[in-house]
């Protein structure tokens, strides 16, 4: 191997080895590691922030983790331009290198090295294609999970909002204070619905097109490179010097692109690590994590107080209703209407201090609060009071309307309370993130890491192979070969 080619090979291999040992130092997804990353938008000062897909500085610092791939692409391209410039100047000056004769063993060794690294490059290409496909599938699965939960959360908020608006309409004539509180809660839920939708939109926006573009770029570049690998091996056996020079030029450019994609794939790997780390921290502590400013789950303690207040209100109302039912039952007994019995209203909330929602505690003979008006209608007076008393109808129509409004409002609240409970405790989001952390993060991280590492391997193999091709062209210059022969014909 000529001295210049040997020095170039040592140089690029040294750069590649430095890439292997230094890229991992920037990727760890814990908040301290994220904050220490250099930020190109701040003159490479520390990012000093958390995981935040809304912040361009986060994206810049995460993209910078692939700098080794970008730098190697630039160095390799500059080295290629330098080689081309040197050859052009040498050709224009009219100088030519003297022909050097090699023994048969050198031809055999160089040929075997070319075949070996061609095989390595083809194997790395196959791994990239498989890992690229798996990464796309698992990223799409993750995106679908987030979209589905975002849709379910929005639908739950819509159901709760509709129930609260109906309650406001029913209670407005009788309880303006409660209506005002319902209005405030409705507006808050709308804001949270918008926040969840924005999170889903940002997540899809930041991943959808980027993942597809990266997938296509990886697939196209490595597929074209695979074609040139096979073509290079064929042209090498045919000893087609012009064809080999064209192959070397094209593969030099492709190697530059593969190095650049190695950096981009490492950036993608960094983003996956950051995302899974943020989701895991959210599951462990929903109130204090890097997603607190993005998702409406930072006020869980206040939400628990609100849920206890709702439980206390409904529990107290139904308890008061049941006490009134006992009084009405006594009046019915006094009027000797023994064929009429009034069942107690089911109270789905436990007593103090937690007032938990426990619908399974209701007895078989109890009725729902929404059915209370149909029971009381038998005792409601719609005509003259004297005739009503004779018929045992002692409840005024105005009182019946108030009871109807309150009972329907409470029934509507009970109906949507499971949705309200899930929303205020962020159950939708926490369950989704728990599923992602438990079942999706590890396979996705493995696929993306395999994609990045195989791209790095292919980059190194291609650098070595291109230099071997270059040495082979120099070695075969001025020699005559039989077709598919490794050794040149003896000079006559």
User: pLDDT tens-digit profile of 65-101?
Assistant: 999 999 999 999 999 898 888 777 876 766 555 555 5
> What residues make up the domain containing 260?
3-297+433-476
**Residue 487: predicted pLDDT:** 60
- For residue 46, pLDDT over 80 is answered with yes
**Residue 195: predicted pLDDT:** 72
**Residue 72: predicted pLDDT:** 93
In a domain, 243, yes or no: yes
Nearest one of 221, 214, 196, 332 to 267, comparing CA atoms: 214
Which is higher by pLDDT, 200 or 115? 115
Mean pLDDT of the chain: 79
**Within 10 A of 95 (CB to CB), how many other CB atoms are there?**
8
Task: Give pLDDT tens digits for 271-291.
Answer: 999 989 888 888 888 777 777
Please state the φ and ψ torsions of residue 380, each to the nearest 5 degrees.
-95, 135
Q: What is the mean pLDDT of residues 36-56?
A: 85
- For residue 465, pLDDT over 80 is answered with yes
Pairing type for strands 395-396 and 38-39 reads unpaired
Nearest one of 199, 135, 201 to 428, comparing CA atoms: 199
* Whether this model's pTM surpasses 0.85: no
Q: Are residues 314 and 193 in the same domain?
A: no
352: DSSP letter? T
Q: Are residues 75 and 194 in the same domain?
A: yes
pLDDT band at 18 (very low <50, low <70, confident <90, very high): very low
pLDDT band at 334 (very low <50, low <70, confident <90, very high): low
Q: What is the mean pLDDT of residues 246-270?
A: 95
User: Who contacts 334 (Cβ-Cβ below 8 Å, separation ≥6)?
Assistant: none
Q: How far apart are CA 212 and CA 215, in angstroms?
A: 5
User: Who contacts 451 (Cβ-Cβ below 8 Å, separation ≥6)?
Assistant: 128, 131, 132, 135, 218, 265, 268, 269
Q: Are residues 360 and 226 in the same domain?
A: no
In a domain, 126, yes or no: yes
**Residue 96: predicted pLDDT:** 56
Percent of the chain with pLDDT over 90: 26
- For residue 23, pLDDT over 90 is answered with no
Task: Give pLDDT tens digits for 345-397.
Answer: 888 888 777 788 887 777 677 788 888 888 777 777 776 666 676 666 667 77
Stretch among 18-27, 251-260, 276-285, 475-484 having the lowest mean pLDDT:
18-27
Q: Are residues 359 and 269 in the same domain?
A: no
- Where do the H-state alpha helices sit in 23-103? 31-35, 56-63, 67-93
> Domain boundary at 389, 404, 425, which?
425
**Residue 4: predicted pLDDT:** 46
Q: Are residues 293 and 379 in the same domain?
A: no
CB of 160 closer than 8 Å to CB of 419 = yes
> Domain boundary at 425, 444, 463, which?
425
Q: Are residues 418 and 442 in the same domain?
A: no
Per-position b or e across 226-235, b if 16+ CB within 10 A of its CB:
bebbebbbeb
**Residue 326: predicted pLDDT:** 77
Q: How far is CA 301 from CA 211, 286, 288, in A?
A: 37, 11, 12
Q: What is the mean pLDDT of residues 47-53?
A: 83
Q: How many structural domains are present in the chain?
A: 2
Q: Count helices and strands (H / E) in the chain.
A: 13, 4
In a domain, 148, yes or no: yes
Q: Are residues 253 and 315 in the same domain?
A: no
Q: Are residues 262 and 369 in the same domain?
A: no
Q: How far apart are CA 202 and CA 141, in angstroms?
A: 16
pLDDT band at 21 (very low <50, low <70, confident <90, very high): very low
In a domain, 484, yes or no: no
Q: What is the Cα 292 distance to its own chain's centre?
A: 16
In a domain, 491, yes or no: no
In a domain, 96, yes or no: yes
In a domain, 485, yes or no: no
Q: Are residues 135 and 273 in the same domain?
A: yes
Stretch among 127-136, 187-196, 204-213, 451-460 having the lowest mean pLDDT:
187-196
Q: Hunting for tokens 């056996």 — which residue is that? A: 237
Q: Are residues 308 and 357 in the same domain?
A: yes
Q: Are residues 292 and 309 in the same domain?
A: no
pLDDT band at 422 (very low <50, low <70, confident <90, very high): confident
**Residue 28: predicted pLDDT:** 52
**Residue 22: predicted pLDDT:** 46
In a domain, 486, yes or no: no
| Most trustworthy range by pLDDT among 10-14, 155-159, 265-269, 350-354 | 265-269
Q: Are residues 355 and 224 in the same domain?
A: no
Q: What is the Cα 197 distance to its own chain's centre?
A: 14
């Amino acid at each position: 191997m000529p001295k210049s080619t040997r020095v170039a090979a040592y140089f690029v291999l040294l750069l590649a080895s430095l890439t292997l040992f230094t890229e991992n130092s920037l990727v760890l997804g814990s908040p301290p590691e994220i904050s220490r990353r250099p930020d190109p938008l701040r003159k490479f000062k520390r990012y000093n922030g958390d995981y935040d897909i809304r912040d361009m500085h986060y994206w810049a610092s995460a993209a910078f983790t692939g700098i080794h791939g970008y730098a190697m692409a630039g160095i390799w391209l500059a080295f290629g331009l330098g080689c081309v410039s040197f050859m052009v100047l040498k050709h224009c000056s009219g100088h030519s290198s003297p022909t050097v004769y090699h023994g048969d063993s050198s031809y055999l060794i160089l040929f075997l090295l070319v075949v070996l690294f061609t095989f390595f490059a083809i194997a790395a290409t196959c791994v990239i294609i498989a890992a690229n496909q798996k990464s796309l599938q698992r990223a799409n699965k993750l995106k679908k999970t987030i979209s589905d939960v975002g849709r379910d959360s929005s639908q739950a908020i819509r159901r709760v909002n509709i129930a609260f608006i109906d309650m406001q309409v029913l209670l407005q004539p009788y309880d303006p204070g409660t209506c005002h509180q319902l209005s405030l809660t409705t507006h808050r839920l709308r804001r949270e619905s918008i926040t969840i939708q924005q999170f889903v939109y940002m997540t899809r926006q930041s991943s959808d097109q980027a993942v597809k573009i990266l997938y296509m770029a990886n697939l196209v570049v490595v597929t074209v490179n695979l074609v040139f690998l096979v073509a290079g091996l064929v042209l090498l056996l045919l000893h087609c010097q012009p064809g080999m020079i064209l192959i070397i030029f094209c593969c030099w450019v492709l190697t530059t692109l593969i190095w650049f994609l190695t950096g981009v794939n490492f950036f993608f790997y960094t983003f996956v690590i950051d995302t899974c780390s943020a989701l895991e921290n959210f599951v462990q502590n929903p109130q204090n994590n890097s997603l607190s400013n993005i998702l409406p789950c930072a006020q869980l303690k206040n939400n628990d107080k609100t849920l206890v207040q709702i439980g206390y209100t409904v529990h107290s109302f139904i308890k008061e209703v049941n006490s009134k039912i006992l009084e009405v039952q006594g009046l019915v007994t006094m009027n000797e209407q023994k064929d009429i019995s009034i069942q107690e209203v089911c109270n789905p909330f436990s007593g103090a201090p937690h007032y938990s929602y426990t619908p399974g505690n209701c007895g078989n003979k109890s009725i729902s609060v929404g059915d209370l008006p149909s029971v009381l209608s038998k005792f409601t007076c719609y005509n003259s009071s004297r005739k009503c008393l004779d018929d045992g109808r002692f409840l005024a129509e105005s009182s019946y309307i108030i009871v109807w409004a309150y009972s329907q409002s409470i029934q509507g609240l009970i109906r949507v309370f499971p949705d309200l409970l899930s929303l205020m405790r962020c159950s939708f989001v926490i369950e989704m993130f728990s599923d992602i952390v438990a079942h999706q993060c590890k396979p996705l991280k493995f696929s993306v890491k395999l994609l990045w590492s195989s791209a790095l391997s292919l980059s190194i193999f291609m650098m070595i192979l291109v230099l071997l091709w270059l040495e082979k062209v120099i070695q075969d210059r001025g020699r005559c070969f039989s077709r598919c022969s490794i050794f040149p014909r003896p000079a006559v």
